[in-house]
Amino acid sequence: MLRFLCGLLAVLTISGNAFAQDGTRLRAADRAAILEEIAETVDENFFDEARAREIANGLRATDFSEIETHEAFANALTQQLHAEDRHFSVQYLGPREVARMLEDHERHMADEGGDPFEAARRNNFGFEQVSILPGNIGYIKFNQFVPSSVAGDTARAALGFVANTDAVIFDVRENTGGAPSMVQFLISHFLDPSESIAINTFVSRQYDYPHQLNSLTYLPGGTRPDVPVYVLTSGRTGSAGEAFPYHLQALERAIIVGETTYGAGNPGDTYLLDAGYAIFVSTGSAQNPITMTNWESMGVSPDIEAPAAAALDTALVAAYDGLLASDAPDDQKTLWTWGREEIAARLTPLSIPEDQLADYVGTYGPRRALVQDGALYYQREDRDPILLTPVGEDRFLYGDDGRFRVVFERNRRGVVTALAIESFVQPRSVSQRD
């Protein structure tokens, strides 16, 4: 949950003496002064007071004398601090850049008519894609958690678009964090609204008691406490992007599919030094009320492991299998079976030798089946040929249109005698082979 000058949250600053700079070269006296100020920043602000002192003293006791540039110093500090908390980050921006950022921040704070979420608004508050996938599966991809007080209407619109689907997949593979309020808002829509359920607890030195986030009981857009939910993750998924799958997993309300996440579980603030450095310090720690811990350093472990690139297809197969195990009507099950066929054709493509494809070649009334470059194609009269992708015995996908299947029928001797077009949008059409 990084805090930006003109983004989601405010940036706190550190006052300090001006340090003489010679390009990016780092003088010994400056290095010692900067190290002490960073150590003090950690000591005063890290959420665990006892550990804060240990981490700060560890910095003071480390020999950085061989480091000669500001950039290398920042990298070395980050590397050492990462072992304590994955959210720690030290960057060298330069005194001019820090001064500019502070000026912009002060100007923004003084401008009451300004929009602190202008950039997020142009990015649709992180909601990149909402669609209905084959088999009536809802899909929502979002890369940022903007506060629900600002982005609630956009989130509600996304949820409304998939409100009639048989399962919902959330894609946070590129989500690096944001506001806890949006995590709370989205999770609440998939819990029982009759009771307020503890989702997360924040511990911090900034207040005397833990701050708890409970599920919302008033949600005008409606809730779906029973719909199957899947969340896609990657090694890039971080911070609030990890909180979302972690809490859903702890509540046994979603199946996580993909890779173990980054492992940054403690929110905080960015502090700026006049010397040109910026350091992010975790000022709080998330604690799930069920697990009594969080995902710091370990990341969120998926229920179903898959490379990030294959996570969506893997989740779709899991969703179809789960739905097919229900007692739904046969027409719904056919829809899910077709969806699963399509995914299986991508994950494990079937290959038919060209001599066997010859069984299908021929004319079927106004339709033709022909082989080109080792693949089977369908053609109707003078239209362009459509690639047929095998999904089962004598069954083929019709191009990239999942609504149709081309099925070849055989007689008792195994000879292909007819071609049928099956679809959910029109009656089955059969053409006899000439």
296 part of a folded domain: yes
Choosing from 69, 91, 110, the residue where a domain stops is 110
Q: What is the CATH number of the domain that holds 194?
A: 3.90.226.10
| Cα separation values, 411 from 124, 128, 352, 392, 418, Å | 56, 50, 20, 18, 9
Both tokens of residue 64? 């950085």
345 part of a folded domain: no
Residue type, 10: A
Choosing from 89, 110, 131, the residue where a domain stops is 110
Predicted pLDDT of residue 209 = 64
339/395 Cα distance (integer angstroms): 14
Predicted pLDDT of residue 108 = 67
Same domain for 196 and 296: yes
397 part of a folded domain: yes
Same domain for 92 and 186: no
194 part of a folded domain: yes
Both tokens of residue 56? 């700060």
- Asked if 159 and 190 touch (Cβ cutoff 8 Å), the reply is no
Domain of 88?
A: 12-110
Ramachandran sector of residue 258 (left: φ over 0; alpha: ψ -120 to 50; beta: rest): left
Same domain for 239 and 159: yes
Same domain for 299 and 223: yes
118/134 Cα distance (integer angstroms): 35
275 part of a folded domain: no
- Asked if 245 and 261 touch (Cβ cutoff 8 Å), the reply is yes
Predicted pLDDT of residue 301 = 98
List, run by run, the mean pLDDT of 10-residue segments along the chain (434 residues): 34 40 74 95 94 96 94 96 92 92 75 75 96 95 96 97 98 95 97 94 79 91 95 96 98 98 91 93 93 94 97 97 95 92 89 94 96 95 94 94 94 97 91 95
Q: Which residue has the tokens 């004398």?
A: 65
Predicted pLDDT of residue 111 = 64
338 part of a folded domain: no
- Asked if 209 and 356 touch (Cβ cutoff 8 Å), the reply is no
Same domain for 199 and 84: no
Same domain for 128 and 43: no
Residues 133-144: tens digit of each pLDDT:
999 999 999 999
Same domain for 77 and 21: yes
33/19 Cα distance (integer angstroms): 9
Residues 163-195: tens digit of each pLDDT:
999 999 999 999 999 999 999 999 999 999 999
| Cα separation values, 392 from 279, 342, 352, 368, 432, Å | 57, 10, 10, 20, 21
Q: Which of 330, 385, 377 is nearest to 354 (CA)?
A: 377
- Pairing type for strands 137-142 and 167-171 reads parallel
339 part of a folded domain: no
Contacts of 77 (CB under 8 A, 6+ apart): 35, 38, 59, 64, 90, 279
Choosing from 56, 83, 110, the residue where a domain stops is 110
Same domain for 293 and 150: yes
Same domain for 201 and 143: yes
Same domain for 304 and 162: yes
* Sheet with 362-364, side-by-side order of all strands: 362-364, 367-372, 375-380, 386-392, 395-398, 401-410, 416-423, 429-432
Same domain for 295 and 157: yes
- Number of domains present in the structure of the chain: 3
Find the angle CA(256)-CA(252)-CA(182) to the nearest 5 degrees.
Answer: 70
* Sheet with 167-171, side-by-side order of all strands: 127-133, 137-142, 167-171, 229-233, 255-258, 304-305
Q: What is the CATH number of the domain that holds 422?
A: 2.40.128.50
243 part of a folded domain: yes
Predicted pLDDT of residue 2 = 34
Same domain for 365 and 264: no
